[in-house]
């Protein structure tokens, strides 16, 4: 029975090969890469030896095989994934620009991911659950939002903590009710895993430390804040810790925040000291951005340990 359960979009990514490539003219793409923020998250947790399961829906097609095959090889429990004959596995096309901006085109809410429903969430899967993880990017359809609420109820009954990465997608906020849902889950979560961009939405106008205090005034007892190239920091009611990023070569930033968040949560569940949780999360993020593909840079225990040791040696 899984310790971590995540729910939401299971996708493949198709990535423009060249920086600045337009999505509206023919060009070269690379893919399909297994993706979807919750899938990246559980893949990383499973690679670190935490038993993890994912809830979501794919089509009975080549892309579904690609992503489920990958998750299975990483050790993720995919038994509760809904597989549909009459819907197609979700796809995200992405192109990156020189200024760091990204443009996406999604087949998601009307494809298989949008067909996951509350009745597809199995109560028995939550028996040993210690953390139920939710991504703000998963709040894309009414059935998925209802399924997430169902998962929260089962997780609460099991005494699991609710982990939430707001993962704000401006395009999603245009959908009625999504902004309210993000605020509601942020106020319900026990652990928050925001990026700096998410702070601007959750705590508009607040400086970083004020925002951390605001978040800790909600139900959350821990906040892990992802700062990208500036590393990460952590706050609870007694401490504020920061850890610098490891130097790395950025090839593809997509998924790095999900990977870092999963590594942080895995560290918490294994009772690592907070400083070690931050260091390991930053190392996982540095490894993640160095590979093309949203979960191609995920790492196991040995990779993390070796990476941290090598960087410390280089510094010494």
Q: Between 27 and 247, whose beta carbon lies closer to its own copies?
A: 27
Shortest Cβ 223–its own copies spacing (Å): 34
> Which one of 1, 30, 157, 184 is in contact with its own copies (CB under 8 A)?
30
- Spatial contact of 99 and 125, defined as CB atoms under 8 Å apart: no
Shortest Cβ 31–its own copies spacing (Å): 6
Shortest Cβ 94–its own copies spacing (Å): 11
> Which one of 5, 10, 11, 14 is in contact with its own copies (CB under 8 A)?
14
Question: Measuring CA to CA, how many Å separate 8 from each of 116, 235, 289, 303?
Answer: 8, 27, 22, 27
Shortest Cβ 297–its own copies spacing (Å): 13
Shortest Cβ 272–its own copies spacing (Å): 33
The CA angle 36-283-257, to the nearest 5 degrees, is 30
Report the candidate in 94, 95, 106, 96 with the shortest Cα–Cα distance to residue 9.
106
Task: Rule CB under 8 A: say whether 143 interacts with its own copies.
Answer: no
The CA angle 298-101-54, to the nearest 5 degrees, is 35
Size of the site for its own copies (CB under 8 A): 31
Residues facing 106 on adjacent strands: 92
Task: Rule CB under 8 A: say whether 127 interacts with its own copies.
Answer: no
> Which one of 2, 8, 32, 38 is in contact with its own copies (CB under 8 A)?
32
Q: Between 175 and 214, whose beta carbon lies closer to its own copies?
A: 175
Task: Select from 23-31, 130-138, 268-276, 297-305 the region that touches its own copies (CB under 8 A).
Answer: 23-31
- Spatial contact of 293 and 13, defined as CB atoms under 8 Å apart: yes
- Spatial contact of 90 and 111, defined as CB atoms under 8 Å apart: yes
CA distance 165 to 196: 11
> Which one of 25, 98, 176, 314 is in contact with its own copies (CB under 8 A)?
25
CA distance 274 to 261: 13
DSSP H helices, 75-177, are 142-158, 170-173
Q: Between 108 and 225, whose beta carbon lies closer to its own copies?
A: 108
Cis ω on the peptide bond leading into residue 32 (within 30° of 0)? Answer: yes
Shortest Cβ 46–its own copies spacing (Å): 20
Kindly write out the interface string for residues 48-67 of this chain, putting x where it contacts its own copies by CB under 8 A and - elsewhere. Answer: -------------xxx-xx-
CA distance 178 to 145: 9
Task: Rule CB under 8 A: say whether 24 interacts with its own copies.
Answer: yes
CA distance 4 to 42: 8
> Which one of 75, 83, 103, 188 is in contact with its own copies (CB under 8 A)?
103
According to DSSP, residue 81 is labeled -
Shortest Cβ 140–its own copies spacing (Å): 11
Task: Rule CB under 8 A: say whether 29 interacts with its own copies.
Answer: yes
For its own copies, the binding residues (CB under 8 A) are 14, 17, 22-33, 61-63, 65-66, 69, 87-89, 91, 103, 105-107, 110-111, 293
């Amino acid at each position: 029975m899984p310790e971590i359960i995540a729910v939401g979009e299971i996708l493949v990514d198709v990535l423009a090969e060249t920086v600045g490539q337009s999505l509206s003219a023919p060009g070269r793409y690379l893919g399909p890469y297994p993706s979807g923020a919750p899938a990246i998250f559980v893949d990383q947790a499973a690679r670190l030896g935490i038993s993890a399961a994912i809830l979501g829906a794919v089509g009975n097609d080549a892309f579904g095989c690609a992503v489920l095959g990958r998750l299975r090889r990483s050790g993720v429990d995919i038994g509760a994934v809904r597989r549909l004959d009459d819907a197609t596995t979700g796809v995200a096309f992405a192109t990156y620009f020189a200024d760091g901006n990204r443009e996406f085109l999604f087949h998601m809410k009307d494809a298989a991911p949008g067909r996951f429903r509350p009745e597809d969430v199995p109560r028995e899967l939550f028996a040993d659950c210690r953390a139920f993880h939710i991504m703000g990017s998963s709040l894309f359809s009414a059935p998925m939002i209802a399924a997430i609420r169902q998962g929260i109820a089962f997780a609460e009954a099991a005494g699991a903590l609710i982990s939430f990465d707001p993962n704000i997608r401006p395009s999603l906020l245009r959908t009625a009710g999504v902004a309210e849902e993000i605020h509601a889950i942020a106020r319900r979560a026990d652990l928050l895993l925001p990026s700096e961009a998410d702070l601007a939405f959750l705590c508009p106008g607040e400086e970083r430390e004020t925002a951390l205090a605001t978040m800790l005034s909600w139900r959350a007892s821990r906040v892990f804040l992802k700062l990208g190239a500036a590393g990460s920091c952590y706050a609870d009611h007694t401490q504020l810790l920061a850890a610098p990023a490891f130097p790395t070569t950025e090839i593809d930033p997509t998924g790095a925040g999900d990977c870092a968040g999963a590594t942080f949560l895995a560290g918490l569940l294994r009772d690592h000291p907070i400083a070690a949780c931050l260091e390991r999360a930053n190392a996982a993020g540095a490894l993640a951005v160095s590979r093309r593909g949203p979960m191609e840079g995920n790492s196991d225990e040995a990779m993390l340990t070796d990476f941290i040791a090598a960087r410390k040696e280089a510094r010494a």
